[in-house]
Amino acid sequence: MKNFQHSLQSLEAADTQVVGVSMDSPFANKAFADQIGVTFPLLSDWGGEVTRKYGVYVDQYKAARRVSFLIGKDGKIEEEQVDKDAIDPTKIVLACDRLAHKKQ
Amino acid sequence: MSKRKTMAAAAWLLLWALAAPFAAQPALAQQNKPAPPKLKVGDMAPDFDLQYFDGTGLKKVSLSQYRGKKSVVLAFFVFAFTAG
C-alpha cells in the first residue's frame, strides 16, 4: 500500500482513484493507513464477499490474495498484477497514463 | 532366483523408493503454483459497495460511483499491519 501512496500523485494526475481492500475491519484498516501514511481509503471487505466475487480469496489464509486491478471508466479491467508483481505499482501507473491519454 | 539377481532386484527397489519422492516433486510444485485470477483484462469488474473509516465515521465507496468519471485502482492486500 505504501508503494501506491508513493505513486499517488501520478495516479491522481491520470484521473484515477486508488483504494485498497482487505478483509480487516474498517477500524483496523484506518489504524494501518495512519501507521504507514496512506491517505487513500482502505476499504473493509469484512466477510470477504467482494474478495470472493473478484476471485482473489485464498482459503488457506482466510484472506485476500495480493492482487491489484486497474479498472477503466467504462468498468472494464485494464490491467492486473498478482502476488509479488502487485507490490510494485509501476505497471499500473503506466497503464493509467496510457488510459488517460487514450481517453483524451 | 540366484542370489545375484535377488540383490539386483533389491537394489532397483531401493533406488526406486529413493527416487520416487523426487519424481513426484514437479507434479506437486505444479499443484501448488497459484492459478491466475479468474477475472482477466477486458472483463467487466464486478461492482462493489464497501466501507472505510475516515476517523469520524464510516464512508461508503462503490465502484459504480466512478463509472464514466475516474479510473479505479483496486488493490487487494492480505492483512493490515503486514509489509508490502
- Complex ipTM value: 0.94
- Phi and psi at B50, nearest 5°, equal -130, 170
- B78 and A31: CB-CB below 8 Å? no
d(CA A77, CA A91): 14
Round the average pLDDT of chain B to a whole number and report it. 84
Digits of tens for pLDDT over chain A (104 positions)?
Answer: 989 999 999 999 999 999 999 999 999 999 999 999 999 999 999 999 999 999 999 999 999 999 999 999 999 999 999 998 888 999 999 999 888 887 55
Mean pLDDT of B27-41: 70
3-state secondary structure of A71: strand
Query: How much is the pLDDT for B14?
Result: 81
On chain B, the residues whose CB falls within 8 A of the CB of A18 are: 72-73, 75
Chain B: residue whose CA lies nearest to A39: B54
Helix (H) and strand (E) counts for chain A? 5, 6
pTM across the whole model: 0.80
For chain A, domains (ranges, CATH) are: 2-98 (3.40.30.10)
d(CA A20, CA B43): 20
- A19 and B74: CB-CB below 8 Å? yes
- A22 and B76: CB-CB below 8 Å? yes
- B77 and A19: CB-CB below 8 Å? no
d(CA A24, CA A45): 7
Q: Which parts of A40-89 fold into alpha helices (H)?
A: 49-53
The minimum CA-CA distance between A89 and chain B, rounded to whole Å, is 10
Mean pLDDT of B75-84: 88
